[in-house]
Amino acid sequence: MELLTTLFDYLNDLTWGWALVPLLVIIGIYFTLMTRFVQFRYFRRMFKLANPKNEAVAAGQVSGWDALMLSVGGRVGGGNVAGVAVAVVLGGPGAVFWMWAIALVGMCTSLIECTLAQTFKRRMDDGTFRGGPAAYIRHGLGSSYKWLIWLYSFCLLASFGFGFNAFQGNTISTAANDSLGLAHWVTALIIGPLAGLIVFGGLRRIVKAADAIVPIMCLLYVFMALVVIVMNLDQLPAVITTIVANAFGLEEAVAGGMGAALAAGLKRGLFSNEAGLGSAPNVAATADVKHPVSQGIIQSLSVFIDTLVICSCTAFVILLSPVYQPGGDLTGAPLVQHALSSHFGHWAEYLLTFLLFLFGLSSIIYNYYLGETAVYEFSKSETARMILRVLVVACVMLGAAAPQATSVFFFSDPLMGLLAVVNLMVIVSLVPIVLRLLKDYRQQLQGGNESPVFSPDQFPELDVDRKAWK
């Protein structure tokens, strides 16, 4: 056990410690320049494409809106509350600025990887679609990279399917215990069966659950933050000035100044929005859209919602409260709870607990689907998926009932780091394909076609599933 711990600690230092964050930033900037700032050129189009009223999909299919909700539900979790609080305590207010900056860059990275996921998706026997990094490695790079597919799939299953689901159970039960005095085992008995009810229903039930949960939790959280901002409108200009000044070292809130703000903000932003990590493409591939780029654009919006909207809400709730102290001992979810209490009173802690419950539940079902996609690469049997569902529910309940037990899942972060490295190297190799698809998409728009259609005949050299693009 000690040997494994040492190994994963080394892997964590190698990835998240110093290599991965700069790599994500550099590659994100590279994609932004190569695509001529596509995330900004198509910013307005994101909202048009995401509108479910503008979509026409076959009965039983997953729409672009459905995939967006599932993706947002996965990206938005306890980290958008507790993680942001940690970032502004360790890095100062300037960390918020660097979260914004990396989100704007990450929007392009997400567009690239999700476009590839759509391009190489496969139609399943039940009519649904499946794809993601494993698919674009196999059909984009070639079957000789099967070992890379297995490595990716193992990391995805272990980190998201098991590890992060245990942590989500932990986040929910800890919040319920702090605000309601609810015993951890009671929360476990609530969240476990509820998660099981959803994941045992397969992809279509998961999508329906996300459609119901995600808009409610996001709108409630944003509304709550907007009320805080309006209540403290006179302080807002000073807070924004402090964020920018601290970001560039003009004001020092914590030891390390600009460096601390940069490190905390970038890491939190990347960890939260998942752009480039190779997780969201698995969900993006499920959508029934007319052109791969369309879903890539929609998924860029997911990054925007996660960081520029939800994380910003948390940041302003904290920074506009009198309880915030840079470098202080009060951090994580308790800091947000105290901040809300200072604005609204003690009852706000109950609202935050409810929202954390929704955040956690949406992340659990998203993580489960990532795990299912990974298992599919090892076994296509229904038995394997049933075993996975049982194990996922067990991990959620273990994390909720025995928070200290989540230390068993210490491998999650380093394996996610390895997952990201694999995915980044692959999408850098395949980016010429995305540039051609973007050109095709742009030319159709310029020709007057407001709903570009992907034609496999225009790309005969690509190993695409023609049944998926009828």
**pLDDT digit string, tens, across residues 245-288:** 888 877 665 655 677 777 777 777 777 778 888 888 999 998 88
Q: Does the model's pTM come out above 0.85?
A: yes
- 14-28 pLDDT tens trace: 666 667 778 888 999
Looking at the domain assignment, is residue 356 inside a domain? no
CA 43/CA 293 separation, integer angstroms: 13
pLDDT band at 49 (very low <50, low <70, confident <90, very high): confident
Is residue 404 predicted with pLDDT exceeding 80? Answer: no
Rounded Cα distance, 210 and 212, in Å: 5
What are the tens digits of pLDDT across the range 336-369? 888 988 888 888 888 888 888 888 888 898 999 9
For residue 430, the model assigns a pLDDT of 96
Q: Which residue has the higher pLDDT, 466 or 470?
A: 466
**Average pLDDT taken over every residue of the chain:** 86
Q: How open is the CA angle 331-302-229, to the nearest 5 degrees? A: 50
Q: What is the pLDDT of residue 403?
A: 72
Q: Answer whether residue 386 is part of any domain.
A: no
Report the pLDDT value the prediction gives residue 413, as an integer from 0 to 100. 79
Domain extent, residue 152, equals 2-52+60-166+214-342+407-469
Residue 377 lies in a domain: no
Cα separations (Å) of 57 from 66, 172, 287, 339?
11, 35, 9, 44
Q: Which of 51-65, 167-181, 315-329 has the lowest average pLDDT?
A: 51-65
> How much is the pLDDT for 201?
86
Is 272 a member of any domain?
yes
Is the pLDDT at 327 greater than 80? The verdict is no
Tokens of 218: 């996001």
Q: What torsion do the CA atoms of 208, 209, 214, 215 make, to the nearest 10 degrees?
A: 50
Q: Is the pLDDT of residue 296 over 90?
A: yes
Q: What percent of the chain has pLDDT over 90?
A: 37
For position 175, what pLDDT does the model report?
A: 81
Q: What residues contact 241, with CB distance under 8 A and at least 6 apart?
A: none
Higher per-residue pLDDT: 105 or 251: 105
CA dihedral 273, 275, 278, 284 (to 10 degrees): 80
Torsion of CA 437, 443, 445, 451, to 10 degrees: -50
Question: In this structure, is residue 204 part of a structural domain?
Answer: no
Does residue 175 sit within a domain? no
Task: Give the other-Cβ count within 10 Å of 426's Cβ.
Answer: 22
Number of domain units in the chain: 1
Listed range (83-87, 309-313, 320-324) with the worst mean pLDDT: 83-87
Which pLDDT score, from 0 to 100, does residue 15 have?
65
pLDDT band at 3 (very low <50, low <70, confident <90, very high): low
The whole-number average pLDDT for the span 201-215 is 84
Q: How high is the pLDDT of residue 8?
A: 64
| Closest residue by Cα to residue 397 from 201, 193, 197, 178 | 193
pLDDT of amino acid 434 = 96
Q: Is residue 162 part of a domain?
A: yes
Identify the band that residue 409 occupies on the pLDDT scale cut at 50, 70 and 90: low
In a domain, 205, yes or no: no
**pLDDT of residue 387 exceeding 70:** yes
